[in-house]
Structure 1
Amino acid sequence: MSTTTLTQTGQQPLGSAVPPFTAHAISVSLPTWRDNVGYEEGEKRVVDAMVSGYPRFFIHLSIQKLAKICEQKFGVPGEASLLCPTRRIAENCRAFMLDRAARSSTPTPTTLNVRLVQFTICPDVDDDGPCAELHIVLFPKDAFPLAKQFWQHTGLCVSSRLAERCLAMLKEDVTSPASPKSPTTPSSRAPVKPGNRHYAAKGFTNKSPPTTPSATQTRFTSTDIPEPSAELLNKDHITYLEERYGRNMPLSSAAAAKRALRRRIAGVLVRDTPSDWSTAGGQEAQLGPSTRGVEGVTEDDVFLYATGMSAIWSAHQLALGARPVAKSVCFGFPYTDTLKILEKWGPGCHFLGHGLDKDIDELEAILERESKTSSVPPILSLFTEFPSNPLLRAADLPRLRKLADKYDFLIVVDETIGNFVNVEVLPYADIVVSSLSKIFSGDANVMGGSLVLNPHGQHYAALKAHMAATFEDSYYDEDAIYMERNSRDFRRRIEVIDANTLAVCEFLRSRSLAVSSISSPPSHPIAVKDVHYPRWVTPEHYNKCRVRDPVTGEPKGGFGGLFSLTFTSTEASKAFFDALPCMKGPSLGTNFTLACPYAILAHYAELDWAAGWGVEAGLVRVSVGMEERGALLRGFEEALKAAEAVIPQQS
Structure 2
Amino acid sequence: MPAVISTLGTSVPPFTPHAISVSLPTWEDTIGYEEGEKRVVDAMVSGYPRFFIALNIQKLSKFMEQKFAINGERCLLFPTRKIATSCRSFMIERSQLDSNPPVPVRLVQFVICPEDNGMEGDCIELHIVLFPSTAFSLAKQFWQHTGLGISSRLAEKCLIMLPNESKATGPVSPRQPTKPTNRHYSAKPLKSPIASTYPVPPLPNITNNADGLDGDHSAYLEERYGRNLPIESAAAGKRAMRRRIAGVLVRDGPSDWSGAGKRDAELGPSTRGIKEVTEDDVYLYPTGMSAIWNAHQLALESRVPAKSVCFGFPYTDTLKILEKWGPGCHFYGHGLDSDIDELEKHLRAESAKDPSKPPILALFTEIPSNPLLRCADLPRLRALADEYNFLIVIDETIGNFVNVEVLPYADIVVSSLSKVFSGDSNVMGGSLVLNPKGQHYTTLKAHMSYSFEDSYYAEDAIYMERNSRDFRRRINIIDHNTEAVCEYLYSRSLSPLSTSPPASESCPFVIKEVFYPKFTTPEHYVRCRVSDNAGFGGLFSLTFVSPTIAREFFNALPCHKGPSLGTNFTLACPYTILAHYAEMKWVAQFGVEEGLVRVSVGLESTQVLLDGFKKALEVAERAAQDA
Normalising to structure 2: TM-score of the pair?
0.92
Check conservation: 2:22, 2:47, Cα contact below 8 A.
yes
Match of 1:529 among 512, 518, 521: 512
The whole-number CA distance in structure 1 between the counterparts of 2:607 and 2:170 is 40
Aligned pairs (5 A) from 1:336-415:
336-374=316-354, 375-415=356-396
1:152 equivalent in alignment to 2:172: no
Check conservation: 2:156, 2:208, Cα contact below 8 A.
no
**Paired amino acid for 2:559:** C
**Paired amino acid for 1:463:** L
Check conservation: 1:62, 1:177, Cα contact below 8 A.
no
1:25 equivalent in alignment to 2:19: yes
Aligned pairs (5 A) from 1:89-488:
89-104=83-98, 109-125=100-116, 130-170=122-162, 171=164, 178-180=172-174, 207-208=208-209, 210=211, 233-234=216-217, 247-374=227-354, 375-488=356-469
* Overall identity of the aligned pairs, in %: 68
**Paired amino acid for 2:26:** T
How far 1:110 moved relative to its partner? 1.5
Taking a change above 3 Å as real, the CA distance of residues 584 and 518 of structure 1, as seen in their structure-2 partners, is: same
| Partner residue, 1:572 | 549
Taking a change above 3 Å as real, the CA distance of residues 68 and 572 of structure 1, as seen in their structure-2 partners, is: same
**Paired amino acid for 2:385:** A
1:74-103 per-residue CA deviation (whole Å, 9 max, x = no partner) reads 111320001011001000000000111000
1:224-279 per-residue CA deviation (whole Å, 9 max, x = no partner) reads xxxx9xx773567678x67xx96100000000000001001000000111332110
Taking a change above 3 Å as real, the CA distance of residues 174 and 514 of structure 1, as seen in their structure-2 partners, is: farther
The whole-number CA distance in structure 2 between the counterparts of 1:176 and 1:55 is 23
The whole-number CA distance in structure 2 between the counterparts of 1:56 and 1:298 is 30
**Secondary structure of 1:384's aligned partner:** strand
The whole-number CA distance in structure 2 between the counterparts of 1:279 and 1:411 is 35
Check conservation: 1:175, 1:206, Cα contact below 8 A.
no
The whole-number CA distance in structure 1 between the counterparts of 2:491 and 2:170 is 48
**Secondary structure of 2:495's aligned partner:** helix
**Cα RMSD (Å):** 2.4
How far 1:487 moved relative to its partner? 0.1
| Partner residue, 2:525 | 542
The whole-number CA distance in structure 1 between the counterparts of 2:572 and 2:446 is 41
How far 1:569 moved relative to its partner? 1.3
The whole-number CA distance in structure 1 between the counterparts of 2:326 and 2:173 is 37
The farther-off stretch of 123-132 and 151-160 is 123-132
1:497-552 per-residue CA deviation (whole Å, 9 max, x = no partner) reads 0000000001111111116865545512111111000001000000000002xxxx
**Secondary structure of 1:489's aligned partner:** helix
Check conservation: 2:374, 2:517, Cα contact below 8 A.
yes
The whole-number CA distance in structure 1 between the counterparts of 2:500 and 2:465 is 48
1:308-348 per-residue CA deviation (whole Å, 9 max, x = no partner) reads 00000000000001111111000000000000000000101
The whole-number CA distance in structure 2 between the counterparts of 1:152 and 1:649 is 42
The farther-off stretch of 457-466 and 110-119 is 110-119
1:51-90 per-residue CA deviation (whole Å, 9 max, x = no partner) reads 0000010000000000000001111132000101100100
How far 1:19 moved relative to its partner? 1.6
1:17-59 per-residue CA deviation (whole Å, 9 max, x = no partner) reads 1121012000100000000001111111110000000001000
Check conservation: 1:176, 1:208, Cα contact below 8 A.
no
**Secondary structure of 1:210's aligned partner:** coil
The whole-number CA distance in structure 1 between the counterparts of 2:413 and 2:305 is 20
The whole-number CA distance in structure 2 between the counterparts of 1:569 and 1:235 is 43
The whole-number CA distance in structure 1 between the counterparts of 2:341 and 2:254 is 46
**Paired amino acid for 2:235:** A
The whole-number CA distance in structure 2 between the counterparts of 1:174 and 1:72 is 13
How far 1:125 moved relative to its partner? 2.2
Taking a change above 3 Å as real, the CA distance of residues 195 and 257 of structure 1, as seen in their structure-2 partners, is: farther
Taking a change above 3 Å as real, the CA distance of residues 628 and 410 of structure 1, as seen in their structure-2 partners, is: same
Check conservation: 1:123, 1:130, Cα contact below 8 A.
yes
The count of residues paired between Structure 1 and Structure 2 equals 601
**Secondary structure of 2:96's aligned partner:** helix
Taking a change above 3 Å as real, the CA distance of residues 176 and 531 of structure 1, as seen in their structure-2 partners, is: farther
Aligned pairs (5 A) from 1:29-44:
29-44=23-38
How far 1:303 moved relative to its partner? 0.3
How far 1:174 moved relative to its partner? 11
**Secondary structure of 1:514's aligned partner:** coil
The whole-number CA distance in structure 1 between the counterparts of 2:245 and 2:169 is 35
| Partner residue, 1:81 | 75
Check conservation: 2:552, 2:619, Cα contact below 8 A.
yes
Aligned pairs (5 A) from 1:476-515:
476-514=457-495
Check conservation: 1:23, 1:207, Cα contact below 8 A.
no
Check conservation: 1:305, 1:473, Cα contact below 8 A.
yes
The whole-number CA distance in structure 2 between the counterparts of 1:156 and 1:274 is 32
**Paired amino acid for 2:115:** D
Taking a change above 3 Å as real, the CA distance of residues 485 and 388 of structure 1, as seen in their structure-2 partners, is: same
**Paired amino acid for 1:333:** F
The whole-number CA distance in structure 2 between the counterparts of 1:246 and 1:558 is 27
The whole-number CA distance in structure 2 between the counterparts of 1:489 and 1:543 is 25
| Partner residue, 1:72 | 66
Taking a change above 3 Å as real, the CA distance of residues 175 and 24 of structure 1, as seen in their structure-2 partners, is: farther
How far 1:210 moved relative to its partner? 2.8
Match of 2:587 among 585, 601, 610: 610
The whole-number CA distance in structure 1 between the counterparts of 2:274 and 2:625 is 54
